[in-house]
A and B are shown apart, each in its own frame.
Chain A
Amino acid sequence: MENTQVREAVMNIIADIALDEDVTQIKDDLALRDQLDLDSMDFLDIVMELKKRHKIEVPQEDYPKLATMESCVDYLGPKFH
């Protein structure tokens, strides 16, 4: 899957979680938590949605790799087939 498609998939998940925010303005190199009102429960939601929608497992030790959109795409890209 192309990086743009991975980004879109992640964006769709975040949009369904940060329901009151404009996710189109996300800056890829900034921490998601610094741009959006996201807490640890929200990150668990992102992990759960990756599993439900894309059958991607993110082990707990890899959670820091979901910090920015850029790191999400880098980390998740190879996991999307």
Chain B
Amino acid sequence: MPSQLSRIVITGVGLTAPNGNNLSEFRQALLQNKSGIKHKDIRHMGKVAAGFCNFDETKHQSRKARRRGTRVGATSIYCANESLLDSNIELSMVDKSKIGIYLGITEHGNVETENEVHLLYQNDLNTSFWSHHHNPRTVSNNPAGEVSLNLKITGPAYTIGAACAAGNMGLIHACQMLRLHEVDIALAGGVSESTETFGIFAAFGAQGALGEHSNPELATRPLDIDRSGIVVSEGGAIFTLERLEDALKRNAKIYGEIIGYHVNSDASDFVLPNSERQKQCINATLKKAHLEADDIDIVNLHATGTVQGDIQECQAVRETFNLNPGSNTHINFTKGLIGHAMGAAGALELAGNLPSFEDNFVHPTGYLNHIDEKCVLKNLVGKTKVQKEVDTILNNSFGMLGINSSLIVQKYRK
């Protein structure tokens, strides 16, 4: 292993979000403050606000393979293929045993299990109707495994369970594996099919945390005093990551460099966030990146639209980034426009901000009308994009059972 840590860069992006099926569409929608949240009937729930994606499931796989696999497998295959195409890596020219697939997931298997239980009750609880596809569809590595099968990649392919911090975790793990030279290329990010289950909606409803509104676009309004909770979304974002020297060798387009990250745990509650631990996570990330808070141009909040989640995170961010009255760090969030894409959230939200390095805008945040006074932050972006030169982005993603992750991406400099 080399004594000096390799620099890790992003050289490809593939994504599907409720308001875009590639980085350009997604970015344009965010800059235009265009929501992807709609009402839809969900089994046992009736009409709920949610974020659904409409990518072409069979663009990169056969109809038969789609039938055998899962929704999140299809999402992963789409995003991974799009990411590789974007990176201009020709698979036939690289060692496929040195490609790693690392996908963050909030949860997996609920969709298939709910479907099977539904059928079971339609068949008088006769378990002989239970599908032989249940196990391969519900194993935790399913999304990554489907990508491996689709692209014939023989390197390590697995998922990383980290609740809603998972999107960042896929990238963090990929950085580590690239630096260890376990792999030469990583397809990493986060994916989610959560909108296919009624259980996640019912559970947030039971918790009093499900976002609802007659206008679905207003069902989640993070940081707004009139917010009502989380809007569940699906989606995926998979980045192609490489060591800088490899990317330079093939003259790759470099979207940005991952210069710092940190992960820690609250160790305090199943669902309630912990501002102090979040602050520690953010500060450890800054330290690893050798940056001060004022060096960060954009902080993308996790901001789910729950009262406690918003307040605790805003406190952590305020105490870190608002200490210097002259600070020019801008704060935005993405869930106001796409909802909470669970395992995909961190990765999608990073992707949504990544083009800032080129277009020099900070994207708006949805429908923030009356900010909760406990969420007031300096340079918080509202309904209109902000023009500024952007060199560094800090991306927060936090999850249940108290997992916190922060990641800093910097505009590539030689």
Contacts and interface: CB of A to CB of B under 8 A. Distances in A.
Interface residues of A, number: 11
B125 to A, nearest CB: 15
A20 B62 CA distance: 7
A51 B68 CA distance: 18
Contacts of A72: none
Nearest to A19: B63
Nearest to B66: A19
B interface bracket (residues with beta carbon within 8 Å of A):
10 to 19
A19 B131 contact: no
Interface in B27-77: 62-64, 67-68
B131 A48 contact: yes
B4 interface: no
Contacts of B270: none
Interface string B110-141: 00000000000000000011011100000000
A48 B129 contact: yes
A17 B129 contact: no
A51 B62 CA distance: 26
A30 interface: no
A44 B68 CA distance: 12
Contacts of B64: 17-20, 37
A41 interface: yes
B132 A44 contact: yes
A81 interface: no
Nearest to A21: B64
Contacts of B132: 41, 44-45, 48
Q: For the complex, would chain B's binding face be called helix, strand, loop or mixed by DSSP majority? A: helix
Nearest to A38: B64
Contacts of A52: 129
B351 to A, nearest CB: 31
A10 B129 CA distance: 19
Contacts of A45: 132
A12 to B, nearest CB: 15
Contact of B63 (A20, A44, A48, A51): A20
Contacts of B63: 19-20
B131 A17 contact: no
Given A18-B64, A19-B63, A51 B128 contact: yes
20 contacts: A17-B64, A17-B67, A18-B64, A19-B62, A19-B63, A19-B64, A19-B67, A20-B62, A20-B64, A37-B64, A41-B68, A41-B132, A41-B133, A44-B132, A45-B132, A48-B129, A48-B131, A48-B132, A51-B128, A51-B129
Q: What 10 pairs across the A-B complex have the smallest Cβ distances?
A: A19-B63, A44-B132, A19-B64, A20-B62, A20-B63, A20-B64, A19-B67, A18-B64, A41-B132, A48-B131
